Amino acid sequence: MNSIKNKNIPKYLIYTVLILALPFLIQMISGTTYLVMILCISLLYMIAVTGLDLLFGYSGQISMGHAAFFTIGAYTTGLLNHYFDMPLWLTIPIGCILPTIIGTILAIPASKLKFHFLSLATIAFGEITYYFLYTSPGGFTFDFKGIGAKPISFLGQNYIKWYFFLLVITIIVFVFKTYLVNSKVGRNFIAIRENTHAADGMGINVRKYKVIAFTVSAFLTGLAGSIYVHFIQYISPESAQQKQSVLFLTMLLFGGTTSIPGTIIGVLFIEFLLELIRPLQEYQMLIYGIMLLVVVVALPGGIYGGFKDLAAKIRGRKKAGTDKTDGKANAG
Amino acid sequence: MIETRNVTVRFGGLTAVNDVSIKLLPNKINSLIGPNGAGKTTFFNAISGVIEPDEGEIIFKGEHIEKKKGYQICAAGISRTYQIINLFWQMSVIENVMVGMTTKLKSNFWQSLFSTKFEKNEEKEAYEKAMEYLRFVGLEDYAHARSSSLSYGNQRLLEIVRAMASGAELLLLDEPAAGMNSTEKRELDVLLERILDRGITILLVEHDMKLVMNVSDYIFVMYHGALLAEGVPEEIQANPEVIEAYLGGDE
């Protein structure tokens, strides 16, 4: 046991150095801070996708309207700051709490719904949020114009500083996610995904745990949104659109569900791919569609899942791959 | 122990379970038999809270449970297995058992989120205990294998031990021998006796008459949704109505 741990130390050391040096490397190679900004957005998306993973990957409930939580978080902190001049250390937490409350309220009826109906309900939720922000009562959300927001004072527009700030938050999120999924709560989430009927029979209060999953998920996505608005310094109703929700889902599925490396790979891959194909922006939805199709048909475990299967095959354990597809069929 | 009084379940115009009153012998193997479509599984579902009976009462340890939901009934001390195996396929064997223990674990959401000392200790103890349960049915070597990789007979065993892990005092077994080979059936026979040694009461639904007559202490016979007869195996075997129900067909 000890020797294995010792062997891993150099590996972890390399990872740590790489993560710490990454923004400097990117800045040096590309010569601009633009890609560092993309890296920062990726970190924010990782937080949001982690939320979606707990909901979809672990407890098997789909959300096609997750961008709404992201946008509600962003608008909450932005508007409170704009109208009441409240300090950001107060508005950002409120920006996390409001989507959490809305997520819980949505989940209480939604936890009764079966998969397809849940996806319809969450699409509707996303659309409602979009149209509410687009044509709000009295125009308090500034409608289609969107709102500007202040940067976090001690970070300003220094993307390197932002990177480290977001890195710390993302790591904290990953740590708590790891605790949660390795506990009774995480086990119950998976049990519900695998077999709702048996989960109930084994003493799991299925609705309660579904609501918990929704609540935690909305909190994390709202957290990402409420920081995002102060990073980009602008938010518009468009962020609540279907496109953004599909983006989160594509990132999650492409990287691979129920794993942290999957989330990291998925977000980075898609985010940097989008940068590469920026000239083809009008085909964005088409590209998501194709990528989702590729993942669902050819790589049910996402890139990370496929990578793990490959590694297992190389080690001569071919079984892992077939098991994975078996299980997926059951989960659906 | 457990008693049902005039339990009736209807699906639209069809009465699947009609006015069934039974009283189980505590710490014995009670069996429920009857031809296909007699309403055995529906009756099981009513006891375990999958469906709510339209009429009648179910009393477990002096408490009414007919209105309770499945997870509440499990917490009260009744656990079950399924006719079609319902394991958590992507989870490991030991995780399946640990899910079964969920009603016994006290940690709440926050303790899990922050991985407190209490939660960690509880998880560790749960793991040890789950391992003991696996040893009880001889599945300890497969603890970390995916449950879908087990043989059919072992999947049945895992379902039984997952149900026991909730600390159930009453175990409802829905055709545990289905799909087992003759060796596995003999082993099941022994296992049922060992489960009784732990003070558990068993209600068994089974089609294998040889097994039923061998292991049962008391038998209830259902026919067309109603209780046709009850008694010790010898009485049931000699009962002309039961013979008629099994051999006479539906004509």
Task: Please identify, among B158, B192, B209, the residue that sits at the C-terminal boundary of a domain.
Answer: B158
Are B202 and B103 part of one and the same domain?
no
In-domain check, residue B83: no
Return d(Cα A126, Cα A68) in angstroms, integer: 5
pLDDT value, residue B101: 96
**Chain B hits for A184, Cβ within 8 Å:** 98, 102, 105, 107, 112, 119, 123
Are B38 and B13 part of one and the same domain?
yes
pLDDT value, residue A61: 95
**Chain A hits for B92, Cβ within 8 Å:** none
DSSP helix/strand/coil, A111: coil
Question: A201, B123: Cβ pair inside 8 Å?
Answer: no
pLDDT value, residue A6: 63
In-domain check, residue B124: yes
Task: Please identify, among B158, B182, B216, the residue that sits at the C-terminal boundary of a domain.
Answer: B158
In-domain check, residue B86: no
Name the more confident of A99 and A280: A99
Question: A204, B123: Cβ pair inside 8 Å?
Answer: no
pLDDT value, residue A317: 55
Question: A323, B109: Cβ pair inside 8 Å?
Answer: no
Q: Which of A283-287, B145-149, B174-178 has the lowest mean pLDDT?
A: A283-287
CATH number, domain containing residue B70: 3.40.50.300
| Domains detected in chain A | 1-31 (no CATH), 34-276 (1.10.3470)
Question: B98, A185: Cβ pair inside 8 Å?
Answer: no
Q: What is the pLDDT of residues A15-60, one digit of tens each?
A: 999 999 999 999 999 888 899 999 999 999 999 999 999 999 999 9
Task: Please identify, among B158, B183, B214, the residue that sits at the C-terminal boundary of a domain.
Answer: B158
Are B181 and B121 part of one and the same domain?
no
Nearest to B112 among A185, A319, A327 (CB): A185
For residue B202, the enclosing domain spans 2-77+168-247
Are B70 and B123 part of one and the same domain?
no
pLDDT value, residue B251: 45
Are B220 and B116 part of one and the same domain?
no
Q: Domain tally for chain B?
A: 2
DSSP helix/strand/coil, A235: strand
pLDDT value, residue A322: 45
Beta-carbon-side half-sphere exposure of residue A146 (alpha carbons within 13 Å): 14
pLDDT value, residue A268: 95
Q: Is the pLDDT of residue A144 over 50?
A: yes
Q: Is the pLDDT of residue B1 over 70?
A: yes
Q: Is the pLDDT of residue A329 over 60?
A: no
Q: What is the ipTM of this complex?
A: 0.93
In-domain check, residue B30: yes
Residue A323's pLDDT band (boundaries 50, 70, 90)?
very low
Question: B113, A185: Cβ pair inside 8 Å?
Answer: yes
Q: Is the pLDDT of residue A261 over 60?
A: yes
**Chain B hits for A185, Cβ within 8 Å:** 109, 112-113
Name the more confident of B115 and A331: B115
**Chain B hits for A330, Cβ within 8 Å:** 89-90, 148
Both ends of chain A: CA-CA distance in Å? 38
Question: B107, A184: Cβ pair inside 8 Å?
Answer: yes
In-domain check, residue B85: no
In-domain check, residue B118: yes
Are B58 and B102 part of one and the same domain?
no
Beta-carbon-side half-sphere exposure of residue B201 (alpha carbons within 13 Å): 17
pLDDT value, residue A231: 96
Are B172 and B240 part of one and the same domain?
yes
Q: Which of A274-283, A298-307, A309-318 has the lowest mean pLDDT?
A: A309-318
Are B34 and B101 part of one and the same domain?
no
Q: Is A173 on the interface with B (CB under 8 A)?
A: no
Q: Is the pLDDT of residue B250 over 70?
A: no
**Which residue, chain included where needed, has tokens 């969450």?**
A122
Are B101 and B65 part of one and the same domain?
no
Are B100 and B140 part of one and the same domain?
yes
In-domain check, residue B84: no
Question: A327, B50: Cβ pair inside 8 Å?
Answer: no
In-domain check, residue B230: yes
What b-and-e string marks burial along A111-139, b requiring 16 or more CB atoms within 10 Å of the CB?
A: bebeeeebbebbbebbeebbebbbeeeee
Are B142 and B173 part of one and the same domain?
no
B212 close to B29: Cβ distance less than 8 angstroms: no
pLDDT value, residue A1: 43
**Which residue, chain included where needed, has tokens 């407890």?**
A59
Are B62 and B179 part of one and the same domain?
yes
Q: Is A318 on the interface with B (CB under 8 A)?
A: no
Nearest to B88 among A195, A212, A326 (CB): A195
Token pair in block for residue B19: 């006015």
